[in-house]
Structure 1
Amino acid sequence: MRSFVGTLIRRLRSGRRTGVEVAGDAQPEPTGDGARRSRRPRLAGTGDRLHLVLTVATVLAVGAAGAGWYGQHRAQARDTAVRQALATATPAAKAIFSYDYRNFDASVTNGQTFVTAPFADEYAETTAALRSTAVSEQAVVLAEVSASGVIQADPERVELLLYLNQYRRNVNTDGEKVDQNRVVLELRRVDAEWKVARATAI
């Protein structure tokens, strides 16, 4: 029995010394799923396509942000234009549609500070034709804005609807009369100021 056991041990030891050894760092050939994965070819140009997708996405994001900023800036500029035009419209309408025969020329000069072409020429012609009648009838007209609203607007041009009361008196009337009018004023930005470019009674 001891001879059999000793012989078996010697054979096992001999087999360990003489068996096939793996040389160097060589790795065994993968089999099964590992072999299929290792043989699967890499897709050419994957990195380039990813870079292109990221670039396009960045450009679109920047474009969307720019469009949003422009829209917000435009809306703010429009709101500012409306506020400034409304602030100008009341004193402008009062100056343009009021006059006093006792200082008619001064009334016209005051009105001219609020107008611009093409309405400036029309205003000059109308007041020149009115002067003699106003003086002969001793006419006094005072215009007051009772209400106003925005028809349309952009940063350089605002169109307003004004409800205008004209309180007038002259030698041909008893007491004071009131004329109620609706007037559309178109105001345009001229340098840093807003001027009346058109006036239309409706």
Structure 2
Amino acid sequence: MPNPTLRAATLRAAAKRAERARNTDESPAPKPERTAPEKPARTAPGKPARTAPGKPAPAGGARPGPPAAVLAVLAVLVVLGMVATAVLGWQYRQAERAAQARTAALAAAHRAAPAILSYDYRHLDRDFAAARSHLTAPFLDEYGKTTTTVVAPTAKRYHGVVKATVAKPPSGDTSPAASVVSSSPDEVVVLLFMNQVTTSTQVPTPRLDLNRVRMTLVRDPAGWKVSAVDAL
């Protein structure tokens, strides 16, 4: 038969072990240790990877495009370049047309001046018609009035004959004494030195008159025509 004292001691020891085990299960779990925040990797010296404030860095490492202001300036420069090219091209074409006009109008003046300033009382109608073929308004109307009211009656009465030619320089140059005063693609002013030999019943000996004539010619669908004649 077991000893009552030993049995009681054994029961107390078992009760204490159970109490310690219960206290261990109910104790709070230990708090995790706090670790220092991880520091961002440092970039190589001289090449900071900075982005504009408030603007996230472009994804995939792509570089940002040029600002809108730069694109606008470039567009304006392109437009200005195109305009300048167009203006220079227009000026070149105008200068080329003016040069062609000078040549054509000067040749027309050489043909027109003798016809306009010459006549013969024996065939006035033919001479006046030849002159009118070189004329245009407003000088065409003025020429018609002058020849009808002044030239024709005087030439018939005194048997007047006038022969006009473009003078030649005294230096022996064969070029006619004529030059362009001003020119544009549609209008040219020419200065001519004219010799006019006149005979009539009032002037039995041929008389030579040296005249300067300023002639304005304009472009016409039929060619260059004389629109004004001024004796200087």
TM-score (norm 1): 0.79
Tell me which residue corresponds to 1:5. Answer: none
Taking the aligned partners of 1:172 and 1:49, their CA distance within structure 2 comes to 87
- Identify the residue that residue 131 of structure 1 maps to in structure 2: 152
How far does the alpha carbon of each residue in 1:43-83 deviate from its partner, in whole angstroms, 9 at most, with x for none?
98734233223212211211111111111000001111111
Give the letter for the 2:70 counterpart: L
Give the length in aligned residue pairs: 174
Q: Which residue of 1 aligns with 2:5?
A: none
1:20 aligned residue: none
- Deviation per CA, 1:80-103, whole angstroms, max 9, x where unpaired? 111111010011111110001111
Indicate yes or no: 2:122 matched with 1:122. Answer: no
* Largest Rg, 1 or 2: 2
Percentage of identical aligned residues: 33
Residue in 2 that maps onto 1:201: 231
Unaligned residue ranges in structure 1 (runs of 5+): 1-26
* In the alignment, structure 1 residue 30 sits paired with structure 2 residue 30: no
SS in 2 for 1:59: helix
Q: Please identify which structure carries the higher helix content.
A: 1
Query: Counterpart amino acid of 1:144?
Result: T
Mapped pair 1:189 → 2:219: yes
3-state secondary structure, aligned to 1:30? coil
Alignment match of 2:161 (pick from 117, 137, 140): 140
| Correspondence for 1:178 | 208
Aligned pair in 2 of structure 1 residues 102, 29: CA closer, same or farther (>3 Å)? same
Across the aligned residues of Structure 1 and Structure 2, the Cα RMSD in angstroms comes to 2.0
Aligned partners of 1:31 and 1:195: how far apart in 2?
84
Partner Cα distance (1:134, 1:100) in 2: 7
Counterpart amino acid of residue 98 in structure 1? S
SS at 2:227 equivalent: strand
What are the within-5 Å matches in structure 2 for residues 40-119 of structure 1? 40-41=51-52, 46-119=66-139
Structure 1: distance between partners of 2:109 and 2:203 = 29
State the secondary structure of the residue aligned to 1:39: coil
Work out the CA distance in 1 between the residues paired with 2:206 and 2:95: 44
User: Matched residues in 1 for 2:76 and 2:161: separation?
Assistant: 69
After TM superposition, give the deviation of residue 31 of structure 1 in Å. Answer: 6.0
- Distance (Å, rounded) in 1 between the aligned partners of 2:44 and 2:65: 28
Letter paired with 2:52: P
The residue identity in structure 2 corresponding to 1:178 is L
Deviation by residue 1:128-155 (Cα, 9 ceiling, x = unmatched): 1211211221111111112112221111
In 2, the alpha carbon distance for the partners of 1:200 and 1:49 equals 61
Between Structure 1 and Structure 2, which shows a larger proportion of strand residues?
Answer: 1
Deviation at 1:33, TM superposition (A): 3.4
For residues 119 and 164 of structure 2, the distance between their equivalents in structure 1, rounded to whole angstroms, comes to 9
